[in-house]
């Protein structure tokens, strides 16, 4: 399923995945630094494009969710999450590159881990460990008796399942999309070359299926980057808020 690595250093395989991660970093940093290099009050087209991307994360993910007062320190993290995931996902739909980096689970785990540490850390820092745990596990306005059940359920749901789903959501969609395209492509190849005859007709069907999945994938790739960052913003907002 994987291409062989380009070269190996010990057990480290320098493969396509590594190249794409580094490429994405270079692309994102390069583009935004290039776009804002002049810091013009009246933006050029390039700067305007950069501002649209930056402003989207800053305003609709940061300010609108975390709130006017507190969102500023979170802009870099939100920005990095969104564009890092977006570009790496889109690699899955670019010919030759053709690999969404987050179809490799390690990448998704790392990002979800960073997100988890960040919002739990800020929550504990803001409210203290005990209060934060109370916030996370004891929903308000519930009869006291129910806490017997609610505390374990809320604990598992908020502090264990939440980061896992955060990671698996992006990983699974990328992995599945990647597989679906591979299946469509494999089916096309098999029907045309191995079956022939009527199979070629079926191959045309597989081609349409593949093209459909390709565009669906682009949509999902963008959406997943958005959802991951959105959920992170929601988690941070929940951790920062007063009360329960």
| Interface contacts to another protein, rule CB under 8 A | 1, 11-13, 17-18, 21-22, 24-25, 28-29, 32-33, 36, 39-41, 43, 47, 50-51, 54, 58, 72, 75-77, 79-80, 83-84, 101, 104-107, 109-111, 114, 175, 179, 182, 186, 190
Give 51 or 154: the residue with its C-beta nearer to another protein: 51
Rounded to the nearest whole angstrom, what is the least distance from the CB of residue 62 to another protein in the complex? 10
CA-based nearest residue to 65, from 57, 77, 54: 57
Asked if residue 184 lies in contact with residue 210, where contact means CB atoms within 8 angstroms, the answer is yes
DSSP string, 31-66: HHHHHTSS--SS--HHHHHHHHHHHIIIIIIIIHHH
- Residues 134/244, Cβ–Cβ less than 8 Å: yes
Q: Do the beta carbons of residue 138 and residue 151 sit within 8 Å? A: yes
Residue 182, exposed/middle/buried by CB under 10 A (0-12, 13-18, 19+)?
A: middle
> Cα-flanking dihedrals φ and ψ of residue 67, to 5°?
105, 150
Q: Minimum distance from CB of 80 to another protein (Å)?
A: 5
Supply the minimum distance, in Å, between the C-beta of residue 219 and another protein. Answer: 22
**Residue (176 or 218) nearer to another protein, CB:** 176
**109 or 147: whose CB is closer to another protein?**
109
CB nearer another protein, residue 89 or residue 137: 89
The nearest distance, CB 171 to another protein, in angstroms, is 8
């Amino acid at each position: 399923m994987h291409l062989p690595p380009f070269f190996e250093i010990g057990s480290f395989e320098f493969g396509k995945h590594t190249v794409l991660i580094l490429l994405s970093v270079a692309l994102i940093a390069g583009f935004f630094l290039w776009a804002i290099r002049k810091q013009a009050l009246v933006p050029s087209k390039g700067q305007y494009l950069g501002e649209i991307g930056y402003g989207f994360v800053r305003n609709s993910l940061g300010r609108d969710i975390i709130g006017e007062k507190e969102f500023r320190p979170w802009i870099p993290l939100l920005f990095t999450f969104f564009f890092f995931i977006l570009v790496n996902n889109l690699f899955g739909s670019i010919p030759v590159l053709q690999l969404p980096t987050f179809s490799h689970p390690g990448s998704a785990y790392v990002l979800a881990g960073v997100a988890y540490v960040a919002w739990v850390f800020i929550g504990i820092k803001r409210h203290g460990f005990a209060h934060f745990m109370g916030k996370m596990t004891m929903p308000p306005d519930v009869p006291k008796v129910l806490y017997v059940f609610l505390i374990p359920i809320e604990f598992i749901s908020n502090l264990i399942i939440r980061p896992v789903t955060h990671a698996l959501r992006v990983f699974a969609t990328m992995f599945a999309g990647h597989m679906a395209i591979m299946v469509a492509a494999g089916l096309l190849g098999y029907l045309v070359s191995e079956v022939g005859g009527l199979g070629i007709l079926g191959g045309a069907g597989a081609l349409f299926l593949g093209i459909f999945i390709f565009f669906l994938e682009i949509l999902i790739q963008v959406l997943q980057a958005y959802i991951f960052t959105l959920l992170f913003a929601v988690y941070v907002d929940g951790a920062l808020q007063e009360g329960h």
